[in-house]
A and B are shown apart, each in its own frame.
Chain A
Amino acid sequence: MGITFKRLDNKVAIVTGSTSGIGEATAKLFAAEGAKVVVCGRRKEKGEEVVKAIHTQGGEAIFIQADMMEDKQIENLVATTLETYGQIDILVNNAGRIIEKPFVEFTKSDWNEFVTLDAYSYFRAMQLVLPHMESRKTGNIVNVTSLAALAVMPTHALYSFVKAGVTHMSKVVAAEYAGKGIRVNSLLPGVVYTEMIADNPNTPHMEKIIPMGRMSTSEEQAKTILFLASDESSYMTGSSIVADGGVRGI
């Protein structure tokens, strides 16, 4: 990628949902910047491929299989990371999916599943790493949410509700830990070309409303996550950085 400057030398980073998309790009970029990366997700084969690619580039990474819907697996993710590397410097909460339906068609099980994966997993992972980070007086959390936290589209009732909630919760966590050497920021990606969106019928329409005229790559989002996870953003906490090609201003 040509930007390597070992910005994350010797840092240990957990990137949830890093078997594909933004998480995969982030894991690879972090490793190129010198971090020891914990790749995790449900899909073992995909995760091991990502780790292999990092090793081929001379980076350090392990795969820990985790379904972020399951408490025990989130606990195991954090515990295994600490056993392996002894510390956690960076947590990137990224695991998630999209759910789109006309408002009246959402069911209670949609609610439960979606809130568990896209909100509870972020909440629980932060709860588990924060005492460790506090004991070391240093830590950095980046919560990847969505432009949907700010911008409103039909069929996004549940998606926007959860993304806005997590974005706002990040600020509260930032406030509680601001004086303790721990920074917490959110990245709100706009439309990103990932497998989540490849076969979405709304995709061509969405491109038309982007001032930059194109969707984002996962790598572009990863670079902005790198900024938030590195010392370049040393005086920032509680921020929501929108990387959306100009859709939503200021």
Chain B
Amino acid sequence: MLLKEKIAIVTGGAKGMGEATCKRFAEQGATVIIADLDLDIAQKVAANINASGGKARAYNRVDVTDTSTIKDLVVSAIEEFGRIDILINCAGGTFGANGTSENINMKDWNKTIELNLNGTLNPIMEVLPHMKKQNYGKIVNFSSMGAFNAYTVVLHYHAAKGAVESLTHNLAFELAPLGIHVNVISPGPIMTPFWDELMPPGPERDQFTVALAKKEVPMQRMGTPEDIAGVCLFLASNLSDYVTGQKINVGGGMGNIISHNSTFLSSDENKQVNK
């Protein structure tokens, strides 16, 4: 097992990519501490993991923009386990339906920057003193393919994610001599509850996503939360012991190569999402 006896905090761990990561980590021997806005679901995910022979906790409701809730979580984790080896900063999201220059407003802008950029830094600041004491830590941040390879325009969200990439690079440089690794995943189109806000689940959405993947994704399929969990496992385990300060594109080839059929910005599909 790759994460035997490791203690991992996963923000946004109750749903989607975070949930899949929690499950994968638990299978690999880690104790998973689920930090999420929705404590009920976080507790259910923890209960499922515990019932299937893994080890998970959901101590309190965590809002990554509210430092006091993260402090409480870290205090509980240290009290029970004495260390924190891994932080997966998966919590994120966007405010306002559309983020083009015509529609963006400062209220959505500020909230989106706060959630994605401050919400990445805040948990890092709380776990770092412990990782420094241990001379060991693996931090994984989340960007978005659109930060540098826009396939739809979401100015505030993508700008925040671009800043997360800079934060990752600088922290990696600062912390490398201390045995703390910091990397960032840039996911492409992954089927998560994030999509529910854009389009309700159902046959219409399935048809849309299949067509979208054929057009936009070189590998011709949408990604799954499990696709992301595998990369988190790489970056959280000793498989990546000489990898720090890196961005890993996980988009079925997006970000690395261009699909032959890529026309999304001007396409009907884009209008369907960006109403």
Contacts and interface: CB of A to CB of B under 8 A. Distances in A.
A233 B219 contact: no
Contacts of A226: 239
Interface residues of B, number: 44
Nearest to A210: B176
Interface in A194-250: 211-213, 216-217, 220-221, 223-224, 226-227, 231-246, 248-250
A238 B259 CA distance: 12
Contact of B238 (A178, A223, A236): A223
Nearest to A238: B256
Contact of B251 (A171, A174, A217, A235): A235
B66 interface: no
A227 B239 contact: yes
In this complex, which of A3, A190, A234, A236 has the most chain B Cβ atoms within 10 angstroms of its Cβ?
Answer: A236
B233 A238 contact: no
A175 interface: yes
A223 B219 contact: no
In this complex, which of A189, A224, A239 has the most chain B Cβ atoms within 10 angstroms of its Cβ?
Answer: A239
A234 B227 contact: yes
Nearest to A175: B257
A5 B219 contact: no
Contact of A175 (B168, B223, B258): B258
B63 to A, nearest CB: 28
Interface residues of A, number: 41
A231 B2 CA distance: 15
Contacts of A213: 176-177
B176 A227 contact: no
B243 A239 contact: no
Contacts of B219: 178-179, 183, 235, 237
B218 A238 contact: yes
29 contacts: A174-B218, A174-B256, A175-B258, A179-B219, A211-B177, A211-B244, A211-B245, A212-B244, A216-B242, A217-B242, A223-B239, A223-B241, A224-B240, A224-B243, A232-B234, A232-B239, A233-B231, A235-B219, A235-B223, A235-B251, A236-B231, A236-B252, A238-B256, A243-B242, A245-B176, A248-B245, A249-B173, A249-B245, A250-B165
